[in-house]
């Protein structure tokens, strides 16, 4: 199957610092990657859609200057949380759409961000 | 119109029983309906998916039933096992962007 990895799996940072989360498609090329955040016992909320080589499209209410997304290659997208605050603490999950399939999205294992 | 409504919020089933989770949608442009399984602290895993040209799809113990006229689809887990205890999300997507709209999730507990 299609495998998506995320790094790191957990990160704790101090308020005001920036954190970068990597999302990689390991065995396939992904023209499109998606970034979600998930609060405890809630559903996934789409933050942005990232297409390789172009600017990300952010969902309404998501600050693009705070959540910087870069999709530099067909196998790597990064999410940088800038000037993190405690309210940014959440579970961040990426997904990648398999080029050949057209529809299926495969999710990474998630990154637990805690801002102290 | 983008919503996908999922029920029940939680479900408790005895081992060997059938678990049924339902979803309803409004957007008739949706043309792809996947189900995801998520364990605590993990990312969602694609279980099974269906497109509106079929009314049912079965993979092992998991079956999706799809009713296009009612705009509803459901997940049936046959012979439920304690290892199936997880949160299940239905989702739908439409158009070239293929963004998924998720249901609110169902926490399934299968008692041994």
pLDDT reading at B91 higher than 80:
yes
Mutation pick from B29, B35, B44 vs chain A, by most beta carbons of A within 10 Å, is B44
Size of interface A-B (CB pairs under 8 A): 55
Give the pLDDT score at A27: 87
Give the pLDDT score at B99: 85
A107 touches chain B (CB under 8 A): yes
- Phi/psi class of residue B32: alpha, beta or left (left: φ > 0; alpha: ψ in -120 to 50)? beta
A110 touches chain B (CB under 8 A): yes
The chain B residue lying nearest A58, using CA atoms, is B99
Give the pLDDT score at B97: 58
CA distance A21 to A105: 19
Give the pLDDT score at B80: 98
B contacts of A95 (beta carbons < 8 Å): 43, 100
CA distance A15 to A85: 5
pLDDT by residue for chain A (116 residues), tens only, comes to 689 999 999 999 999 999 999 999 998 888 889 999 999 999 999 999 998 888 899 999 999 999 999 988 889 999 999 999 999 999 999 999 876 655 788 999 999 999 99
User: Six-digit token pair at A47?
Assistant: 């933050």
CA distance A37 to A60: 14
pLDDT reading at B5 higher than 70:
yes
């Amino acid at each position: 199957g299609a495998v998506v990895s995320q790094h790191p799996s957990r990160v704790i940072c101090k308020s005001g610092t920036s954190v970068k989360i990597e999302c990689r498609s390991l065995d396939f090329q992904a023209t499109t990657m998606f970034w979600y955040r998930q609060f405890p016992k809630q559903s996934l909320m789409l933050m942005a859609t990232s297409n390789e080589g172009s600017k990300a499209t952010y969902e309404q209410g998501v600050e693009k200057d705070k959540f910087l997304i870069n999709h530099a290659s067909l196998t790597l997208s990064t999410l940088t949380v800038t000037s993190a605050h405690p309210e940014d603490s959440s579970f961040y999950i990426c997904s990648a759409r398999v080029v050949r399939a057209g529809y299926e999205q495969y999710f990474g294992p998630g990154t637990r961000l805690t801002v102290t | 119109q983008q919503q996908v409504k999922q029920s029940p919020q939680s479900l408790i089933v005895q081992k060997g029983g059938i678990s049924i989770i339902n979803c309803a949608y409004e957007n008739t442009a949706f043309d792809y309906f996947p189900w995801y399984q998520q364990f605590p602290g993990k990312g969602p895993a694609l279980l099974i998916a269906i497109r509106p040209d079929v009314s049912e799809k079965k993979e092992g113990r998991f079956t999706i039933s799809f009713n296009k006229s009612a705009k509803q689809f459901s997940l049936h887990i046959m012979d439920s096992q304690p290892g199936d205890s997880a949160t299940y999300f239905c989702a739908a997507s439409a158009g070239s962007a293929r963004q998924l709209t998720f249901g609110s999730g169902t926490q399934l507990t299968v008692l041994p």
